[in-house]
Structure 1
Amino acid sequence: MGTVRKSILLSAADKYFSQMLLVVTTMVMARTLTPVETGLYVVANSVLMLADNFRTFGVGIYVVQTSELRPATLRSAFTVTFLLSLAMMAAILATADRIAAFYGAAEIGHLLRLAALGFLVVPFATPIVALLQRELDFRRLALLNAAAALTSSGVTMALGIAGFGPASYVWGFLASGVVLSLMAFAARPQAGMFVPSLAEMRPMLAFGMVSSSVTLVNMAYEMLPRLALGRLLSLQAVGIYARAVTVCQLPDRALSSALQPVVLPALAARARDKGDLRSSYLRSHALMSALHWPMLVMLALLADPVVWVMLGPQWIEAAPLVRMIALGMMALAPAFLTFPVLVAAGRIRDTLWSSLIALPPSVLLVMVAGTISLEAVAASTFVLAPFQMAVAFAFVRRAIGVTWQEMATASRDSAVLAGATALVPVAVVAASGQGFALGWLPCALAIAGGALGWGVALRLVRHPLLDEILALWRSAAGLAGRRGLAPVAGVE
């Protein structure tokens, strides 16, 4: 547990730094690009992310979870990734103009052709990053990711302010890919892993076929509604909806993005040691929901000032969408555990079946809602999120034997924390006379009251998160002490 906690701490520092940069970049670019320009980038980026799934093809996950890692494994990982990257680059270049014509926006084609160049660079980082994840070497991973994120944000904001428009994001993506690959090689200067080899291509492709299919189905669920809204409504509607989703994903990214790189390697190691995955799943959900649910509740209550601060007044139409999506997403608190638990349990095919059962109907419902309004699309989250989580949990139950009653018990104290967090903010909103459009002072009071309510409830119910916070504090103090920093008072 000590190694895992330190890995989580380092991963959290990495991801929180990246999230801070994301927030700053979003704030700058929201004031630089119009909703229509944002919609252009969102459509192009959706196509690129679908292509990127085929490029990765689950190769990194294969390296992390395989029981025996040999030099040929890393060489095959690079070779397979590089060949798939070339294929995806060629496909994007061949279809860019057709995609642009479909949306009646020539600039989408330019963005796609420019971004396709990045597929030549990223494969050189893939085997090294996967190797570092397998070894739980999150100190080096944090440095790599921080440098890449800083490069991406810096280039994007600089070019956005200079008037490069949506292409600013693409140039940031290209620059970060170059930096990540160079720094990855500097961290592990082993040129031998880039010698072409197809020795383990067959098992890698067999694993990747399932893994990438899962990712593809999940990404299709996320991206296809945005692509469809571009035709059903408008590019401006796509921009507004995408920004609302970005704001709602901040709590999840702040939490699961820090845990996700650690969870799969840790669970895979636990499974190899014949450990109990059921208790790990329940405890992880209890810890995650204790933070995730209160944050989403606060976001829903303070959606108007959050949108105003993050995006600016031109995006205020996104606030009602944020409110609905944030509340609906509370049902997805355990979702980040589904894939790593099933993979660690040796049931990767179940991850695909879960996605195939839950997501196609979800896409259909979102598209139907898109024929009505953006508000209907946001409201559909109240149906889709519980449905998706119920399907996923059915497969998790079969894999590790967890029951609904155990899940309810693991969720009970977190629900109390969410309710306690909401008490003061709800009172402030009710007493303000301005509805959700709070001024600076009421907003500050709501935030302070929410934090106080969460802290008091955390202590009163003796939530296991309190023990983890203290353990992480001691780990952080230990890391600081080994670097010759001053000891923290009261921490042994």
Structure 2
Amino acid sequence: MSAVQRSIVFSAVERYASVSLFVVTTAIISRLLTPAEFGTFAVVNALTTVVSVSFQEFGGANYLIQKQELSRRHIRTAFTIIFAISIMIGALFFVLSGVLSRFMGQDSLANGLSVAALSFLFVPFSGTIAALFRRDLTFGKLAICNLVANVAGAIVSILLAMLNFSYMAPIWGGLANCVTLTVILLAWHRDFGLFRPSLADYRDIVGFGVYSSGVSLINVFYNLAPQLFLAKLLDFAAVGLYSRAISLTQIFDRLVIQVLSPVIMPAVAAQRKSGADLKRVYLEAIQLLSVTQWPCLTFIAIMAHPIIEIWLGANWLEIVPLVRILCAANLAMFAACLSYPVLVAAGHVRDALVSSLISLPPSLCLLFAAAFFNVHAVAAAALLTLPFQAVVTIYFIRKRLGIDGGQIIDALQKSAIVTVSTALGAACCAVLIEVGAVKPIVGLVAGSSCVALCWWLGLVLTRHPMLNHLYHALSGVVDIVRPRFRRPLL
């Protein structure tokens, strides 16, 4: 297998193990915390994530990965900038935790924000080393580090939830995850000279970071804004319900997008260096993404009731309509993970920021207005905002890569047929569950098997390009496994 294919395999192993851990942890914690308690954690997580993701881009992973000629001086300067901003932001969160909790109308936020602020001490170290591993496509080491950190965070979260730490349990778990990841990465990398202060190339880093951090800030804030709006205008129980609905809707992202995301930027950068046609790369990529995302979201929407009942418990069944609405809205985001890497590779990182500034502020206004009504209105607003964002982003990509609308439609036709095929299979099993012919657990297992079969048949009937990729992936696995079985026993 190529370096990119090996990276995807390692990323997939780490991601699927992490998703399995996430499913188990969520199932346990959902039965130990109320929606209001989980909502408090979600708000703390939203506030810290918005800030953390944005400031890291001033010298974070994307800068280190896309830099064609990367020197130790560049790395040291990038780390110095991130560390200085991180310390400042962490101190501000600690000092202003009381003010923020009073503004949100929840005094308990202060303790959560104070503990979460400690993670800002560790993020610059783990983020820098992880970016270097990604740049070199050494995803095997990174997968091990992430898995160990996720296990540590899950154990701490569950134990503290069982000891009645309430919403603080997952917050302490997140800090344990962050500390563990940093310690393991430092022990593995051991090049501590990279962390010596330097500002030698600050102009280059800040120049890239202004646009990159702007894109990250506005996109992350948009994704987390509904939770903040609901916390301020309604109550924390609504935040908990919406957050859980989002968690289920994002199963595809956890299973597929988060496997590919660490690899996409270095892979696209490598394609650019080799002189590949980015237009062809983009069209092929949206074919593969749409034929996996659309059937997955359709299956989750149709089977939402049994999935929630089995996974989260009967207390969370009121999020079923939220999940179905959000799944329908997210169908428009089939190419979202490609937009930023492709525009950066094309030399137009500024377009990524401009497209976000065009599409996200109006979307935020609509979400804010919907939050005055109820959590269902906020979810319904996504039916307008997400397609609008997709259209704006694709416009800029078409402009820079020379793609016309007909080529995009042609690339998506086969995926649409495959999606209809899988939806019919899921619908049949959902009807059997609804009429009581089978139990939810049996129907869900049968539905998963039926959808997998319908998906495969759809690929074969349409001769979808995904078939070739599946064949090559299977051949690569066979090539790896076969020599092991041929070794002599003695």
Structure 2-normalised TM-score? 0.95
Q: Does 1:11 find its partner at 2:11? A: yes
1:433 Cα offset (Å):
5.0
The residue aligned with 1:185 is 186
The residue aligned with 2:207 is 206
What does residue range 250-269 of structure 1 map to in structure 2 within 5 Å? 250-269=251-270
The residue aligned with 2:456 is 455
Q: Does 1:388 find its partner at 2:389? A: yes
The residue aligned with 1:64 is 65
The residue aligned with 1:34 is 34
What does residue range 268-287 of structure 1 map to in structure 2 within 5 Å? 268-287=269-288
Q: Which amino acid aligns with 1:136?
A: L
Q: Distance in 1 between matches of 2:115 and 2:468?
A: 49
Contact 2:432-2:443 within 8 A present in 1 as well? no
Contact 1:305-1:437 within 8 A present in 2 as well? no
The superposition leaves residues 161-182 of structure 1 with CA deviations (integer Å, 9 ceiling, x where unpaired) of: 2221111112112212222112
Report SS of the residue matched to 2:250: helix
Question: Percentage identity across aligned positions?
Answer: 35
Contact 1:54-1:84 within 8 A present in 2 as well? no
The residue aligned with 2:296 is 295
In structure 1, stretches of 5+ residues that fail to align are: 488-492
Contact 1:7-1:138 within 8 A present in 2 as well? yes
The residue aligned with 1:414 is 415
Q: Distance in 2 between matches of 1:438 and 1:339?
A: 44
Report SS of the residue matched to 1:106: coil
The residue aligned with 1:490 is none
1:156 Cα offset (Å):
1.2
Q: Distance in 2 between matches of 1:49 and 1:229?
A: 17
In structure 2, stretches of 5+ residues that fail to align are: none
Q: Which amino acid aligns with 2:27?
A: M
The superposition leaves residues 312-332 of structure 1 with CA deviations (integer Å, 9 ceiling, x where unpaired) of: 111111111001111111110
Structure 1-normalised TM-score? 0.95
The superposition leaves residues 268-300 of structure 1 with CA deviations (integer Å, 9 ceiling, x where unpaired) of: 111122211111111111111111110100000
The residue aligned with 1:344 is 345
Q: Which amino acid aligns with 1:42?
A: A
Query: After the TM superposition, which of the residue ranges 363-372 and 423-432 deviates more from structure 2?
Result: 423-432
Q: Distance in 1 between matches of 2:471 and 2:152?
A: 34
Question: Alpha carbon RMSD of aligned pairs, Å?
Answer: 1.9
How many residues matched? 486
The residue aligned with 2:235 is 234
1:46 Cα offset (Å):
0.9
Contact 1:7-1:136 within 8 A present in 2 as well? yes
Q: Which amino acid aligns with 1:357?
A: I
The residue aligned with 1:130 is 131
What does residue range 422-461 of structure 1 map to in structure 2 within 5 Å? 422-430=423-431, 433-434=434-435, 439-461=440-462
CA 1:349–1:438: 2 relative to 1, 3 Å: farther
Q: Which amino acid aligns with 2:30?
A: A
Q: Distance in 1 between matches of 2:19 and 2:387?
A: 26
Contact 1:14-1:142 within 8 A present in 2 as well? yes
1:237 Cα offset (Å):
0.6
1:425 Cα offset (Å):
2.3
Contact 2:360-2:389 within 8 A present in 1 as well? yes
CA 1:197–1:435: 2 relative to 1, 3 Å: farther
Q: Distance in 2 between matches of 1:466 and 1:352?
A: 35
Q: Distance in 1 between matches of 2:438 and 2:346?
A: 47
1:82 Cα offset (Å):
0.8
CA 1:433–1:69: 2 relative to 1, 3 Å: closer
Query: After the TM superposition, which of the residue ranges 288-297 and 365-374 deviates more from structure 2?
Result: 365-374
Q: Distance in 1 between matches of 2:156 and 2:390?
A: 38
